[in-house]
Every structure is written in structure tokens, then in C-alpha cells.
Amino acid sequence: MSPRKRVSRLPLVSGPMADFAKFLVGPGRTLTLALLIVVLFGGAWYWGWQQVRADVTSSQAYVLSPADIIVTDRPDWMSFDIREQVFRDPGLQQGLSIMDPDLNQRIAAAFAAHPWVAEVRRVSKRHPAQVVVDLKYHEPVLMVFSPGRVTPVDVEGNALPPGDIPLNEVMRYPRLECDSLPTPRGLAGDQWGDPRVVGAAEIAAALGGRWETCRLDRIEPVTDPATNRVGDIIYRLQTRSGSIVVWGRSPGTHAPGEPTTAEKLSYLDEQIEKYGTLEVPTGRPRVIDLPGLPFQIRNKRHSEKQ
């Protein structure tokens, strides 16, 4: 008796449908079912999330307030809460949720626009609702005095918001006085637009704590008498007792042959260490010519050798 032939139970179809049917009952069946389950589960999850998304993201566990923003410790002179000022930004008025995919960019942009912020280094989210913002603040090094106005300036010559620093702090900073100085060209936080401000800020930053140690009173930009050309600026420092320190060019416009900033500062340190003041021992005012130091030092050494 001849063996019975096995009859296929697959539908009598051909082409792509037949190939797909063979795949379903063949070795790929397990993988196919797994993929179908994943797709169905993903679709169901997405549909469900869309139904509850608004309620979840608006819950207190996800919504941010100014108190939920952790920023870099503010400087001692900063008497206001920068977070409250930043939250006045119209882009943040409608509330913030840590579920917002654009949250970091929105917060970074809002802080970057604040005139006291020099750089937003990093923004990171935490749960429950909290955001950490790493900031670099503009650091005032100079106060520019003009009629009815005192404007802080950083080392790059950026004009910062007037009135934000308490008066008792203002008087501790070096001050620049210049009758012909124009008002800042841009907004608060932008460059002043005058090279005399930049030069004075560079000198103030270089002096640092020496401003108080040397009992300095103000910085004055003047036309260089050696050239008498408009725009050819040197700087003089005046002490509280009336002595004059001819500083010379600003650090950013150093002239060939002029002592370096480090050499100028070293000489001032020597004077303070020796006399405790920049005045002469009798207390009378004097003139200290820092650009002429190399000549003075050479003559002194030559005299000592003789």
C-alpha cells in the first residue's frame, strides 16, 4: 500500500500573501508575535498618555515655581532674587513643567537675557519639580560717575544696571570720572561703547584690593601729553590725599617700552610696604610716574654702583 500524501492546509494563494502566511507558521512566528505585542502595547500607552498628559504635567509634582529654581549662589552685593526677576519674562508666565521637552532651553534663554548674567553654563532638571541653573554673573569692577547716575561696569566694559548695588557697596569700588563720557549705547549688560570705560575697567580689575590699600579715590582718562592726539589716552589715579599716580596706557593698549601691569603693581606694593602710603613720608602729595619706572630704576642702580 502506497504511503498517503501530506496535504498542505495553507490557503491556495500565491504571491506576497502566500509568503506572509508561510512566515506566520514558520520559524519567524515567535518574533512576529513579539513585535505585534510591542506595537500594540506602545500604541495603547501613547493613546493613554495623550488622554492624561495635561492632568499629569499640571500636577504639583511637575510644575515649577521660582522657589524650585536653584541658581548659583549670588554675590554678596546682589540684594535681589534674580529668579523672581527672570520669572517676569513673558515666556515663563504660563507656568513651567519639567515634562516640557523644551524646558531647559526656555529657562536658559530667560536667564541669559538678564543683564546681570554673563553666561548660562548649564541647566539640568530634577524630580520632583526642580531645575538647577549654573550661572556666571557679571562682576562689577568699576563705578562710572556721571551727573545723577552711577553705573557699574565689569572688566569687559559692559554697562550694568544702575541702582542694583546698595550705596554703601558702591563707594567701595574704584570710580571713573570723565566729563565728556557719553551715555551707554546699548542696553544694560551690553558694551558701553567707549574705549575709556574699557581701559579704566581693566586697570580697576588689575588693582583689585590695592584700591583700598593705596587709598585711591578715582581714575581719570586724559589725552597723552606726549602725543597730544585726540583718542590717545593714558590714565591717572588720584589718591584721597591728592597724590597722582600716572598709570599710563591701559593693560589692553600697552605701549612698547612701558612697564608691564605686573611691574607697575609690584612698584605700588613696594611703596605701600615701605611707607604704608603713596604719599611722601611727610604726608605731602606727590606724583608717581609708573611709565617712567625703567628709567628711574636704571638710574638708581647706577648711582648705587658708584
Confidence band for 298, pLDDT divided at 50, 70 and 90 = very low
Residue 304 has pLDDT above 80, yes or no: no
Residue 91 C-alpha cell reads as: 515666556
pLDDT of residue 126: 79
Distance CA 199, CA 189 (A): 17
Query: Could you give the percent of the chain with pLDDT greater than 90?
Result: 35
Per-residue pLDDT reduced to its tens digit, 254-291: 778 889 999 999 999 998 898 888 876 666 778 999 99
Give the position of cell 532651553.
105
Q: pLDDT by residue (tens digit) across 63-122?
A: 777 888 899 998 888 888 898 888 887 666 666 777 888 888 989 999 999 999 999 999
Model confidence at 303: pLDDT above 60: no
> Over the stretch 4-40, which tens digit does the pLDDT of each residue have?
555 555 455 555 556 655 555 555 566 666 666 666 6
Helices (H), 93-164: 103-112
Q: Which domains does the chain have, with CATH numbers?
A: 63-137 (3.10.20), 140-305 (no CATH)
For 209, left (φ over 0), alpha (ψ -120 to 50), or beta?
alpha
pLDDT bracket for residue 237 (50, 70, 90):
very high
